[in-house]
Amino acid sequence: MSALLAVEGLSKRFGGVHAVEALSFAVDEGSILGLIGPNGAGKSTVFNLINGVIAPDEGRVSFRGADVTGAPPYRVARHGLARTHQIVQPFMTMTVLENCIVGACFGRENLPLSRARESAREAAVLVGLEDRLETLASQLTIAGKKRLELARALAARPTLLLLDEVLAGLNPTEVERMIGTLRAIRARGVSILMIEHLMQAIMSLSDRIVVLNTGRKLAEGLPEEVAADPLVIEAYLGDPGLAGTLRGASA
Amino acid sequence: MIGLLASLLDGILVGAVYGLAAMGITLIWGVMDVINLTHGAMIVAGMFGVYLLAGTLGVPVYATLPIVLVGGFVAGVALYWIAVHRVIGQPPLMSLLSTFSVNLVLIGLGTAVWGTVLFNVQVSLPGLSLGRYTFPGTHLMAAALTGVIGGLLYLFLYRTRTGKAVRAVSGNREAAELVGIPTRRVLALSFGLGVALACVSGMLIATLFPFTVLSGDAYQLKSFVVTVLGGLGNPAGALAAGIALGLLEGLATPFMPVSWTLVIEFVLFVVVLVAFPGGVLGLRRARAH
Amino acid sequence: MTLLRRPFFWIIGAVILTFALAPTYGNNVELRESLLLAAVYITLASNLNMMLGYAGYVNFGGIVFFGLGGYFCVWLMSALGWPLVAATLAGGAAVSALALLFGLGILRLRGAYFALATVGVNQGVMAFVTNFGPWGGATGIYLSPALFKPLGGPAQALWTIYYLLVGVMGLSLYLSYTVKSSKFGLGLLAIGQNEDAASVLGVPAPRYKAAVYSLSAFLPAIAGGLYFFKGAFIQPPDAFDLQLSTEVIVIAMLGGQGTVTGPALGAYLYEELRGWLLTSPTFSNFQLVIAGGLLLAIVLFAPGGLMGLIYRRWPRLRRILE
């Protein structure tokens, strides 16, 4: 399997703090890569570096063979990389459908308005918002807004989806539902790179895991390998029950 | 050559007052992400404040300072509750337009009452003579008072509990609220403080130059130029940048008609903003949304 | 064009026809003059609205397009003998090109900084023109009455200019409508909602902002050419009048920013209000105070303007109007 996204030697400093340091990993086509790590490990910064919100100090980001290091976000999106945010940012005065149409129009396929509606509707159906297409985004619940954020990114028919804590703030039923949606997305051929704190979810969903701690890669491998890695368990120290959960989830 | 030096030194004195005015803008911006477009009108308010108090009521000119300061603070708090409070969470466009509209109202009322004639505040203060050149006493006094107020502001922000609360809200409003700081009151207080600084700077400028109701615009522009030069949210930077601007004006005035100074300042404003989004002296502040 | 099937397309057409025909019947010069002013307001407000209401960028100094367009046209006609239509079009093109140039610099700024920078552009251009000899400097340019001859003499020329201005107004409304219904407009609206999120979704924000800034300069520049030709005189303070710029913002907000009908409605109402204010002895000095108070009330209580209130009361109208 070829690498869809390759990150090499990525570094970023803010003032004197190394937010990300010498990070390298790759996402294979058709796979789900999980990115985990304690709070403040730099995971969201990695996303920002990949999709061009911040330019790295050092390192390279290549997507589908093209060098997109430091390219502006809209150009990265045009290459086929979509991203959701931890704090959802829907276009409040637009409807669910309109939000998705924006995604469809300006994403990888760069569709004209007339054809964008179809892609937008499909994406909304996939996340389960088909009965609320005409609802204003501001009127959705948090769960609804999270689903909209996902639909909007999907409407662009991306090849790679960056998900930033898409399960945060959802109740167990909603989490189940979202996991199902993510599997359906992968089944359609979209690769996923996801940041998540919900250990059981990310361990069961991911093909591979990368663990980040204070900006550096701590470990990488299959979920069960990572869960058994003493360095990883040590990083999460302060939550001793977690070690058991990790081992239990990947068993 | 000595003439130029004198001009430059005088520029430093006047520039200090510009810095004071800019502190008003930068404080409000730093704390609540609002650009106060009533700033010019409040400078004019300070000017007319000292004019009325000293001219009509016979209060000694420099004694009006605390009155203008307190009056400005009260006005600022009122302005916050009227025009700013409701639009705090909304896109910045809204607070821009709301403060802009208040400015329209105030300047409109001002021109209706006082027209566009020149006013002057008479102060007799001995100057400082160095060789052939005399530095007007008013300039020296204004710079000195600026230093005092700047020092008081520093003490307030860094040595009092309320000041600490202001800095906390400025850094991260949600976190401040979580630890129990009454953020709305802090915002109102900060706005009041920013306006008070504007009024006091107006009062001092009135002792330096003649003014009209419409003078506010020019000084507001200068305040913005200084603010972006010094770094948004950085009061010390504002003072330094104000002095820098004063120096620049001191350099330019012997050689150039006054009407061009303003244009140059505008160009400077735009150039600095485009080239240094965080201000030349300032830190790039990442704002949490 | 499916737009032709939308009722709103024909509503705009009806408005244009009303403007054109109403004063023509009965040769009503007074009505024509008042409608001419309205047409200018509507042109300026509609074009401003594309930046303000769609992309969320306040152009405080938008009047610079109007003034520069006026100067280009008047100068081309008086100094180089160009005919009216060519001069106005050339003015429009020149100003759009300049806008693109300025835009490249200042569109990197967000929110308030952009707004203040636009004032800077206006004041800077005004200062430049005031000192620019070939354009009459501070005195300005006077047009000789001879220039009205090709149009059939002054009286006839005034009518021609009026119809042309109504045409420009109509084009502004159609432009506003077409953009809003297009992919470009959707991108602008997304930028207005959340520029960063829009960029992440693939909206090429810098390009789009530059395009709309330049586009929003074109028709106001032409309107400026027509307006100052009509007055046969142009000078810097009239051409680059920040107060007019402010009023245009109030009009756009009053009517409803982000809508196509809003600026038209706002212009009509504001002109009525202004007319009443100017004739009232108590209030004639308070024009700006009233404008300011109105703007404050809108921002605080009805940020969607009149159209916002109307849509909230009658949501079905959203389908018909824009």
B102 at C interface, C-beta within 8 A: yes
d(CA C232, CA C52): 32
C117 at B interface, C-beta within 8 A: yes
CB contact (8 A) between residue A77 and residue C205: no
Nearest-by-Cβ selection for C186 from A51, A92, A101: A101
**What pLDDT is stored for residue C138 in this prediction?**
86
**What pLDDT is stored for residue C145 in this prediction?**
85
Q: Say if residue A121's pLDDT is above 90.
A: yes
Q: Where are the domains of chain C?
A: 2-319
Strand partners, A191: A160
Would you say A72 and A36 are in contact if contact means Cβ atoms under 8 Å apart? no
Q: Find, among C211, C218, C256, C220, the residue nearest to C241 by Cα.
A: C220
User: Is B270 domain-assigned?
Assistant: yes
User: Is B113 domain-assigned?
Assistant: no
CB contact (8 A) between residue C186 and residue A53: no
B32, containing H or E segment: helix B2-32
| Side chain identity at residue C4, one-letter code | L
d(CA A193, CA A28): 10
**What pLDDT is stored for residue A238 in this prediction?**
52
**What pLDDT is stored for residue B285 in this prediction?**
40
In this prediction the pTM is: 0.86
**What pLDDT is stored for residue B259 in this prediction?**
67
ipTM score for this prediction: 0.87
Residue appearing with tokens 């300072």: B65
Residue appearing with tokens 């021109």: B111
C183, closest residue in chain A (CA to CA): A113
Structure tokens at B42: 């409040």
Q: What's the whole-number mean pLDDT along residues A199-224? A: 89
CA distances from B130 to A160, B9, B124, B135, B187 (A): 73, 11, 19, 8, 46
CATH: 1.10.3470, 1.10.1060, 1.25.40, 1.10.10. Which one for C2-319? 1.10.3470
Nearest-by-Cβ selection for C111 from B93, B103, B108: B93
What one-character-per-residue DSSP string does B79-148 give? HIIIIIGGGTTS-HHHHHHHHHHHHHHHHHHHHHHHTT--B--------EEETTEEE-HHHHHHHHHHHH
Residue appearing with tokens 């009151």: B185
Positions of chain B with pLDDT under 50: 281-289
Q: Find, among A218, A164, A214, A235, the residue nearest to A13 by Cα.
A: A214
- Residue length of chain A: 251
Q: How many CB atoms lie within 10 A of CB C22?
A: 13
C195, closest residue in chain A (CA to CA): A91
Domain count, chain B: 1
d(CA A101, CA A96): 9
Dihedral, C98, C101, C105, C109 alpha carbons, nearest 10: 60
**Which residues constitute the domain of residue B36?**
15-98+133-288
Positions of chain C with pLDDT under 70: 1-3, 281-285
CA C137 from chain centre, in angstroms, equals 25
Q: Per-residue pLDDT tens for B195-246?
A: 999 999 999 999 888 899 888 888 888 888 888 888 777 888 889 999 988 8
Q: Which of A18-27, A209-218, B172-181 has the lowest mean pLDDT?
A: B172-181
**What pLDDT is stored for residue B289 in this prediction?**
26
**What pLDDT is stored for residue B275 in this prediction?**
77
Q: Per-residue pLDDT tens for A156-173?
A: 899 999 999 999 888 889
**What pLDDT is stored for residue B287 in this prediction?**
34
Interface test with B, best of C130, C132, C288 (most B CBs within 10 A): C288
User: Edge-to-edge strand order for the sheet containing A58-63?
Assistant: A17-28, A3-14, A58-63, A66-67
Q: Per-residue pLDDT tens for B52-77?
A: 988 888 888 888 899 999 999 999 99
Would you say C238 and C244 are in contact if contact means Cβ atoms under 8 Å apart? no
C305 at B interface, C-beta within 8 A: no
CB contact (8 A) between residue C186 and residue A98: yes
d(CA A104, CA A210): 30
Would you say A5 and A26 are in contact if contact means Cβ atoms under 8 Å apart? yes
Structure tokens at B3: 């003439």
Q: What's the whole-number mean pLDDT along residues A51-61? A: 92
**What pLDDT is stored for residue A240 in this prediction?**
55
Q: Find, among B90, B95, B97, B80, the residue nearest to B42 by Cα.
A: B80
- Those residues whose C-beta lies under 8 Å from the C-beta of residue B76, and which sit 6 or more positions away, are B42, B191, B192, B193, B194, B195, B196
CB contact (8 A) between residue B101 and residue C295: yes
**What pLDDT is stored for residue B288 in this prediction?**
29
d(CA C292, CA C34): 23
Q: Find, among C54, C42, C78, C39, the residue nearest to C205 by Cα.
A: C54
At residue A247 the predicted structure's pLDDT band, cuts being 50, 70 and 90, is low
Mean pLDDT of chain A: 88
Q: Which residues of C touch B224 (CB under 8 A)?
A: 116
